[in-house]
Structure 1
Amino acid sequence: MKKPELSIERRDHPEQYYGCWLSCHGYESRSVAHLDMLEFNAQRRVSLGFNFPAASEDNEASKRVALARRRLGEAGYETPVVDDVAFEAIVRSELSKLTELSGQSVAADISSMSRSRIAALVISFFEHSRHKSPRYLDLFYFPASFDSHKHDFEPLESFGPCHAYLSGWPADPDLPLAAVMGLGTEPRRADGVVEMLEPDILALYLPQGDQAEYTVELQKENRRVLSVGGEPSYYSLRDPESLYLSLLATGERLAERSRLIFVPLGPKLFSALCVTAALSIGPEVGVWKASSGRGVGLVDAQALGDPIIVRITSSVLG
């Protein structure tokens, strides 16, 4: 993959027309918030489901999945249920259909995507943008309300690369290990990551939410890792340009003298920007995800306020 030159820009409104709209739907109510809160036209509309939980099961989460799929279908969306491998194949297929005539723009709501799917989306976009359309990707993120997004303790079940391309392949495997880690409200999730990685260098990023309760909860659930990680970098999701530049500067500095891994706990938009920064720096940088697997609580995250819209523009060097 040729190295892309990347830029990040916050947008106030969606485009009136997109060549393609992509999203994922599931048990979170915010997975269909765009149906009620956004106005746009798109030649292609695809919302990809997950194979867990099944919409046919008799529980509240499955009923929410079935309702989301029905609403999307009525609005003209294709709603295939796929695994992560098929998700990436469909994304690549949809991107390959875009031409100058049909529209070179693509939009994606990442609010209910997994971190693996976010990574596959961004990587697929950059690979296609090397030689053809699209040249920019608009990401939409609906922050969840504090009350609807509270998690119980979920043991860390798996920890590894978000995508094979983001495993991290440093030139010198003997360099010290550095972790740039975002923090979220998942109880003690960051503690488990630090215990597993045992990084020599730890840089923490702490989000500032739209609700005061969110900030208090973050401090509470991450008090142990904050006590060992030093002063964190505070960021606002409403200022994604500054966040991206900070991640890029921190990542470039650490990649020169360490084996660097981004660990994007917390908001999904932070994860997308970590992937973008890692792609910009080079394949020696990894982006890894920490997951509870099928043990994750099926929390009904509900959208709070307007979405954050981030445009990623790609031009290719070399």
Structure 2
Amino acid sequence: MTVAAQPLITVAEDTAAVPHLDALESEAVHIFREVAGEFERPVILFSGGKDSILMLHLALKAFAPAAVPFSLLHVDTGHNFPEVLDYRDRTVEKHGLRLHVASVQDYIDRGVLRERPDGTRNPLQTLPLTERIQAEKFDAVFGGGRRDEEKARAKERVFSLRDEFSQWDPRRQRPELWNLYNGRHAPGEHVRVFPLSNWTELDVWQYIAREGIELPQIYYAHEREVFARSGMWLTAGEWGGPKDGETIEKRRVRYRTVGDMSCTGAVDSGADTIEKVIAEIAVTRLTERGATRADDKMSEAAMEDRKREGYF
């Protein structure tokens, strides 16, 4: 008996057949519209990373054909990848959005913050973030955190109440039943909102493939000069790497997440297309933060400690 050859399935066809992506999209769109109707001054955290790019795409969908009724906020460490900053600025211009930038470098120049010995600035983002929220009187702040990324984020509600100092107390978080969200807050308090809470890294990439969303090229495999530190491939830069004994070499790598160059590692990869990235992620057993973010490895409770102080 002759078996007929089966046609190849493209990524677009494959991801279009993933039914739960529609449910995740619908949930996120509902959350954006809920916040627009309940709060006076919401803002979207936008760094040019894949999760914030996905958030903006969903916000554009939620209010089309009208403009997105929120501005954007980026906490710039001064050590961001140039490719990501270029993408951020192009996106803001393309959609006619307003971008607020809170600069860690400004705080260092004024003597308010001090450089860390390891050169990492991610832990220094909390003060610029919280002060900009207070100065602009933002009452809802969208973040791209997902519950699958890290154990502290797994505790997070979709609507996460923060006190007048932007601090997070898990004991004050409210129950969330079905799609009912409680945005009530006292003067000076605000709510962090996480419309991607129930997405996984694989969901994010499958949706990006389905929607044809452009990303910075560092998310795909490319040749880069890197050096090894703490089990990660880091990019050399003005932040202080490499140190004595750390050798720069050229490798084919890509980034699963992007942040401060001093603490965001690349992974060896040949995944230079979205099809290959999805196949790679489907078999991995480490989250992107667990595999490539040194700032989350400073202690067992590094992320939770930063959340309590006011970070995401």
Q: Same fold (TM over 0.5)?
A: no
Q: TM-score range by the shorter chain?
A: 0.3 to 0.5
- Bigger proportion of residues as strand: 1
Q: TM-score, normalised by structure 2?
A: 0.33
TM-score of the two chains, using structure 1 as the length reference: 0.32
Q: Which has the larger radius of gyration?
A: 2
Q: 1 or 2 for the larger relative contact order (CA 8 Å, sep ≥6)?
A: 1
